[in-house]
Amino acid sequence: MRTTYLVTAEERNQIEQGLAAYCRGLDRFDREIALSAFAPSAVLNYSGIYVGSALGFMDWVWPFHEKLELNVHRVANVFIDRTPSGDLVSESYVTSLLRRRDGEIYVDRVGYGRYIDRWARTGDRLVIVERDYVNDLVTELKNPANAARAVAPAAGVPALEPGRDRGDASYRLFSGAAIPQPAPQRARP
């Protein structure tokens, strides 16, 4: 069994960033970021639900995600190696939370699966040229709609509400905008 892996730190970084960009793009409804992980000619096979191009996948998945209250994609356990033919491949475990409202409850559909990707260099970066998504498990949980926050907000502390668009708090920091200064607090006697 081989114990060395023929992947550079820069290749690992680019692959992990590409996976993160895809998830961020889906969750923030930013097609440009989501598609940046893929070559224009990439072929995707999503476990019996979709086969085709990355652009076609976005056209298919976008309307479904827009109907949700929330969608969260997380990637972990990214294993990267080079095949004997020289291709870079990765297997990453993904958890997706798809929340929809059903009257007075939230229905959280949680999927566990794996992205198995083949990567190629396009210009100065690596992009996905082939993806297989293996669906390992799907479960549903039901939660009261009024139990959306784990911690109650504190008086006088502005909330950073999640956004499913460029209004999300992350865009301010990624754009380099100035950080707002908190209002001065009065000392208590």
Pick the CATH number of 9-148+161-175 from 3.10.450.50, 3.30.70.100, 3.30.830.10, 3.30.565.10: 3.10.450.50
Lowest-confidence region among 86-90, 134-138, 171-175, 177-181: 177-181
- Local confidence band at 132 (pLDDT 50, 70, 90 cut-offs): very high
pLDDT digits (tens, 9 = 90+) for 19-77: 999 999 999 999 999 999 999 999 999 988 999 999 999 999 999 999 999 999 999 99
Rounded CA separation 139/135 (Å): 11
Distance CA(138)–CA(96), nearest Å, equals: 9
Q: CA-CA distance, 99 to 104, in Å (whole number)? A: 13
The residues near 23 (Cβ < 8 Å, ≥ 6 apart) are: 73, 74, 75, 94
